[in-house]
Chain A
Amino acid sequence: MALILAIDTSCDETSAAVVDGQRILSSVVYSQILIHKQWGGVVPNLAKRAHVERLDSVVANALKKYNSIAKVTDWNGSPEYVEKIMHSLDAVAVTYGPGLAVALEAGIVKAKELSNRYHKPLIGVNHMEGHIYSVFMQNRNGNPERPFQFPYLALLVSGGHTELIHMKGHRTYELLGETVDDAGGEALDKAAKMLGLGYPGGPVIEQLAQEVHNEDRYRFPRPMAKSKDYQFSFSGLKTSFLYFLREMGEEEKNKNLRYLASSFQEAVFDSILLKTERAMKEKGLNRILVGGGVSANRYLRKRFRRLVRQYQGEVLFPSFSYLTGDNAAMIGAVGSIMFEQKQFMKDPDALEREPRLLVASSA
């Protein structure tokens, strides 16, 4: 497959990677190398958005790590060193949307510069495609085995997205449905905020719910349960949760924190599973891909495994936990396929950001 240097700056994370098809040869995500302000497994959402300042070092690090495996040249830190490594690659891929406009811009500028200086083709990648391909990623030795067995039903659920996509072949998609308001991960974050649990909310809700064995004590309404389409909506659930907490009062709320967290999470997940199952039945699909930040939730994974068992199907999640978040490796995987398909920018300077880019037009 093609050797790709990939860059992703769609939102908070500044990341660069070198991949060979599905295989990740090096991957640098800024929050991992960020040495201060880190408390452990989860990084608080601090000012991480000034990508420009650190993009150079993130790219240089990804190239250096790649070189330590590929041994293109000896490290001496000179410009010739970077040049030699760049010449060993096939193309530069970069996310051009969807995402935060100013953040996208930083990555695009850098990718154009590298493409022009080293005469490498430039490939513009849709970030959402990256999340779909994140489940197929492998380490540098080609593990785990993840053959492509189209068609798939792909669900992307994160703090910024909730989308259900029919994937018919490489890079051939039909958007079946998406959220009409808040994203699934965002709903969990905001519920945590209403419970007084700070940020980020998803992992706390998961932990609290697990402590009461995910009991659904309050049976909040399942949003969009009756709609005969594949759309999602979480803002109504958020509002009814707010009313419920008000009626309940502060003291009762705190007493039942775990059950509240659990019941809210259950309503969000039920709604996601309901629409997924509808699409499985109606489209006759039993192989599912789940990507995006919320796919890190262990309970959600369990629910999906249970669901596909009923249909003798299978479900795939991002192969490594850091791939559930934003990362450049998955952008490289898409870039690699696009390279084979010869989908380069004819004029690299013509690549422009598209903050509201869709994965595919709706059917």
Chain B
Amino acid sequence: MNMKVVPKQTISIPEVVDILHRGGVVVAPTDTVYGLLCDAKNEIAVKKLIAIKNRPAGKPISVFVSDFDMLNAYGVLNVQQSSVLKTILPGRYTIVLDSKHKNSSLLESEKGTLGFRFIDNAFITELVKQFGSPLTATSANLSGSEPHYSIKTLLSDLRSKTELIDLVVDAGDLPHNKPSTVLDLTTPTVQTIRGGDLLWKEDVALISHSEEETQMIARLQMGSILDSVQKKPVVFILEGELGVGKTVFVKAIAESLEIPRVVSPTYVIYYEYDVSGHPFIQYLIHFDLFSLEEDEEFKVLQIDRMLKPGNVLCFEWGEKAGPVFEMLKEKAEIVFIHMKYTGKGEREIAIRRKK
């Protein structure tokens, strides 16, 4: 098989479409670098492409789509997501969605997600449109080496593999655009706590009009657990949307224990504070489960070791504590704090305790 190099100005799109339909692999300029294109549904073509790149098996490959209908046909999107995407696409993004598994499974990640590229590039978009289904969107270089902006360096990099390539669309040197920005829109799989998981003995709802009032409510809660914490660890599960004041609540708890510097633990998942100077409390452990994405991740946190009398555990995004909830229920006293925005500057703080 001979590789053809054709200048982009003289290329005929139907001819490229024909090569792709026959399972061919095409090198073409994209919005970023030179890419390797093949029929995303054709398992053999995809295998050829993986061989060209020396790409380890299991590493996902994105696909080009020509419009929103095609995106919807191959990826799982809800209404909100698609309205967000409509404002930023076409553009230099790779959108990761749960796959509808209609392309070669070799392109998907282990979790069954697939990367989609709907780009602002007339040539690629027209090509995919005429082709009628997604084409692979991966840079034309050996796995692990730099991507190519010029045909010359590309061909020397892929030297021994050129017999697997059917056509090169030559557009000369490409501008050095940044690689695409990756946006993962797949929903975390972390199990959430559902209503009815516990029977509550108390159910109080308080309204806070300011940060100070929220702090006062938090301090009152601390006061009420001082007895029980000597027998059992106490767990505060805080629920409520971003910016509603969960960190403010935990900071107030910390201040009541004279811990001055409490910052958000989102990035590291939790911070522990030694308060052994306190008569009843040993450690305050401040969790933020915001960025946990898989049940597996709970295992490495070793939460079971922290569940000792004298310890207070606060969980921001506590609704994601599903995988450890049984254990918490069994070993700890639980105080459930649900914070809700109810109007400008006003929040409802519902407090419930386990029976």
Across-interface contacts of B60 in A (CB, < 8 A): 36-39
Which of A58-66, A136-144, A193-201, A271-279 participates in binding chain B? A193-201
Closest to B266 in A: A186
Cβ of A102 and Cβ of B302 under 8 Å apart?
yes
Cβ of B243 and Cβ of A207 under 8 Å apart?
no
Which residues B218-241 have CB closer than 8 A to chain A?
241
Closest to A298 in B: B178
In the assembled complex, how far is the CB of residue A243 from the closest CB belonging to chain B, in whole angstroms? 7
| B91 contacts A by Cβ under 8 Å | yes
Which residues A230-253 have CB closer than 8 A to chain B?
235, 238-239, 241-243, 246, 250-251
| A40 contacts B by Cβ under 8 Å | yes
Cβ of A11 and Cβ of B293 under 8 Å apart?
no
| B251 contacts A by Cβ under 8 Å | yes
A229 to B109, CA, bound (A): 47
Q: A40-B182, A207-B93, A242-B242 are in contact. Are A235 and B270 (CB under 8 A)?
A: no
Across-interface contacts of A196 in B (CB, < 8 A): 80-81, 84
| A41 contacts B by Cβ under 8 Å | yes
The one of B83, B182, B263 in contact with A250, judged by C-beta atoms closer than 8 angstroms, is B83
In the assembled complex, how far is the CB of residue A322 from the closest CB belonging to chain B, in whole angstroms? 14
A356 to B83, CA, bound (A): 41
A175 to B239, CA, bound (A): 33
Cβ of A355 and Cβ of B181 under 8 Å apart?
no
| B131 contacts A by Cβ under 8 Å | no
Cβ of B59 and Cβ of A36 under 8 Å apart?
yes
A242 to B244, CA, bound (A): 9
Which residues B73-101 have CB closer than 8 A to chain A?
80-81, 83-84, 86-88, 91-94, 96
| B264 contacts A by Cβ under 8 Å | yes
A49 to B248, CA, bound (A): 27
Cβ of B248 and Cβ of A254 under 8 Å apart?
no
The one of A47, A186, A194, A211 in contact with B264, judged by C-beta atoms closer than 8 angstroms, is A186
In the assembled complex, how far is the CB of residue B343 from the closest CB belonging to chain A, in whole angstroms? 10
Cβ of A160 and Cβ of B268 under 8 Å apart?
yes
| A214 contacts B by Cβ under 8 Å | no
A257 to B291, CA, bound (A): 23
| B294 contacts A by Cβ under 8 Å | yes
| A158 contacts B by Cβ under 8 Å | yes
Cβ of A100 and Cβ of B270 under 8 Å apart?
yes
Across-interface contacts of B83 in A (CB, < 8 A): 250-251, 254
Cβ of B179 and Cβ of A41 under 8 Å apart?
yes
The one of B181, B251, B269, B271 in contact with A203, judged by C-beta atoms closer than 8 angstroms, is B181
The one of A36, A178, A243, A255 in contact with B58, judged by C-beta atoms closer than 8 angstroms, is A36
Cβ of B184 and Cβ of A257 under 8 Å apart?
no
Cβ of B267 and Cβ of A160 under 8 Å apart?
yes
Cβ of A159 and Cβ of B266 under 8 Å apart?
yes
Closest to B264 in A: A182
Across-interface contacts of A35 in B (CB, < 8 A): 56, 58-59
Of the listed residues B60, B81, B84, B344, the one surrounded by the most CB atoms of chain A closer than 10 A to its CB is: B84
Across-interface contacts of B94 in A (CB, < 8 A): 39-40
| A330 contacts B by Cβ under 8 Å | no
Across-interface contacts of A89 in B (CB, < 8 A): none
| B300 contacts A by Cβ under 8 Å | yes
A199 to B88, CA, bound (A): 15
Cβ of A199 and Cβ of B291 under 8 Å apart?
yes
Q: Mark B240-254, 1 if CB is under 8 A from A, else 0.
A: 011111011001000
A101-B272, A182-B264, A250-B83 given. 20 additional CB < 8 A pairs?
A: A35-B58, A35-B59, A38-B59, A40-B180, A45-B293, A47-B296, A183-B264, A189-B266, A190-B266, A200-B184, A204-B93, A238-B242, A241-B243, A242-B244, A243-B341, A243-B344, A246-B341, A254-B86, A258-B87, A356-B271
- 14 A-B pairs with CB atoms under 8 Å apart are A11-B268, A35-B56, A36-B60, A40-B94, A40-B179, A40-B182, A46-B293, A182-B263, A182-B264, A193-B242, A196-B80, A242-B243, A257-B88, A258-B87
Top 4 A-B residue pairs of the complex, sorted by shortest distance between their CB atoms = A160-B267, A242-B243, A239-B243, A196-B84
